């Protein structure tokens, strides 16, 4: 089964690049099958990782960044892949 973990945060004013750099620098052990980073208006950063694991597996996730780097708590979601019937 493929599981996708999504992590999204909104940077403090003017700190979008710093948040993106911070997210890029985070390591996973073990490494995911795939990892993608996105950015959006209002200095939002999204990280999606894909894992070959059951839905409820204990998987490494990105931590909360330093409080002064973000405007609110990180949002997290977990999804499982389904057949495109």
The average confidence (pLDDT) of the chain is 96
What confidence score (pLDDT) does residue 83 get?
87
What length is written for the chain? 85
- Identify the three-state secondary structure at position 16: helix
pLDDT beyond 90 at 84:
no
What confidence score (pLDDT) does residue 44 get?
97
- DSSP label of 32: P
What confidence score (pLDDT) does residue 36 get?
97
Q: In what order do the strands lie in the sheet with 75-80?
A: 34-40, 44-52, 2-10, 75-80
pTM for this structure?
Answer: 0.92
- Interval 62-82 mean pLDDT: 96
Residue 5's nearest CA partner among 73, 66, 44, 58 is 58
Pairing of strands 75-80, 44-52: unpaired
pLDDT beyond 90 at 69:
yes
């Amino acid at each position: 089964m493929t599981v996708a973990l999504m992590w999204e945060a909104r940077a403090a004013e003017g700190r979008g690049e710093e948040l993106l750099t911070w997210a890029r620098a985070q390591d996973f052990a073990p490494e995911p099958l795939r990892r993608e980073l996105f950015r959006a208006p209002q200095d939002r950063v999204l990280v999606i990782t894909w894992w070959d694991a059951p839905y409820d597996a204990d998987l490494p996730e990105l931590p909360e960044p330093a409080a002064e780097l973000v405007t609110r708590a990180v949002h997290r979601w977990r999804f499982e892949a389904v057949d495109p019937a």
